[in-house]
Amino acid sequence: MNVHNIFTVYRKELIDALRDRRTLLSTIIIPVLVIPLLTFGVGKIASSVINKARAETPAIAVLGGADSPEVVAQFKSAKSLKVVPAAPDWKQQITDKRLRAAVQLPEGFEAGLKRGEAPAVAIYYYEGELKSQLGVSEVENFLRTLRDQTAVERLKERGLPASLVKPFDFKRENVAPPEKVGGNMFGGIVPYLIIILCFTGAMYPAIDLTAGEKERGTMETLLCSPVARVEIVLGKFLMVLTGSISAMVFMLLSLGTTAMMAGTLFAGAGAKAAAGAVKSNAVIPMIDPLGLVGVLAMVLPVAVLFSAVIFTVALFAKSYKEAQSYVAPMMIVVIMPAVIGMLPGIDLNAQLALVPLLNLSLVCKEMLSGIWHWHYIALIFGSSCVYAGVALAVAVRMFNRESVIFRS
């Protein structure tokens, strides 16, 4: 095997790929743009929608309450609520999102409070609808305040201090460093994006260098050259691997740059914001740079695995279009383990460390959170290298078979 021949084939394929807009789009443009769009674009839209919903005064209806005029009057005077007349179709109004919630006061509610009873108040709302849930939160805050006032009045009547209903206070204190907070926030989505981009980064070069060459009729010319088959396949494989790794590296660079820009923007929002952050004990989420390096190392054998598998599958196709129909469904197989790894409660163990892709998703999430289980990391890296080696051996074997290269 001649290494010079391998890199000659690789250089030729690399030059061709750099002239292909589809390859540049999948390996550079999309990985660079996807993180800023997710962080600033989708995040800005989501933040705007939630802030707009919070700024809206929720419309509610009070059901019953004819014998509780004082409580109904307090509902109507509350600035955070907009009480509208209760209509017979109030349930349909909630379903149609014209009414955010409805409060059912039981019969004799006020009288029951004065007698020291504990009547139950029902709140009707639309589960899963953002504005309805915000409306319920405002109603619950109002009822909680009313309950506390009632308790304080009862204590005063008996000559007891109000502290009896609130004997002590408590508050939250965050002890996690900012990079671990950021790791927990981004740790689920980053492996998902890495796996997808590694796959798509390898997909188009692999199809073009196999089925594409068959379709253009240049495969026979290449095979007639004085270069061994194994050198040709390794040169092509290196090009496919370059596409996969490039997509992942550009995505990580984009992620790091976006995280720094977001941190600068949040930190530079002014003295008021900084003072508010300190006062509320808030932290600016960041990502541990060492975690990103660890992710990069763990993804390398998976990129080899993707490149070899896609290269082998595309090798069976007779045309570019046929190869796309073979490779595209594999995306579902790739996404599923990544999605499972994002689910809460799925923790890394020895069995899951041997499951391809799922192990990568879990270990990347932990490393970005600053958690380093070295025995699992070694197990995952070793098993991924074995899977990648087997896939590459299969790719070389298939490329040497005439029935595959010249399938009719």
pLDDT (tens digit per residue) in 190-211: 777 788 888 888 888 888 888 8
Place of tokens 């090798």: 315
Q: CA 154: distance to chain centroid?
A: 50
pLDDT at 387: 92
408 pLDDT higher than 70:
no
d(CA 166, CA 173): 20
Cβ burial of 274 (10 Å; 0-12, 13-18, 19+) is middle
Model pTM above 0.75: no
Angle CA(36)–CA(39)–CA(45) in degrees, nearest 5? 115
| Residue-wise pLDDT tens digits, 156-194 | 888 888 777 777 888 887 776 665 666 666 666 777 778
Contact 224, 42 (CB under 8 A): no
265 pLDDT higher than 80:
no
27 pLDDT higher than 80:
no
The DSSP annotation for 340-397 comes to: HHHSTT----TTGGGSTTHHHHHHHHHHHTT---HHHHHHHHHHHHHHHHHHHHHHHH
Angle, to 10 degrees, between the axis of helix 374-399 and the axis of helix 358-368? 140
Which amino acid does the sequence have at 201?
Answer: G
d(CA 82, CA 101): 11
| Residue-wise pLDDT tens digits, 293-332 | 888 888 888 889 989 999 999 888 888 888 888 888 888 8
d(CA 87, CA 148): 30
Of the pLDDT bands very low, low, confident and very high (cuts 50, 70, 90), residue 102 is very high
pLDDT at 393: 92
Three-state DSSP state, 285: coil
Per the model's pLDDT, the better-predicted residue between 38 and 329 turns out to be: 329
Q: For the residues 91-116, what does the mean pLDDT come to?
A: 88
On average, the pLDDT of the chain sits at 81
Q: CA 242: distance to chain centroid?
A: 25
353 pLDDT higher than 80:
yes
Min mean pLDDT across 22-36, 57-71, 382-396 is at 22-36
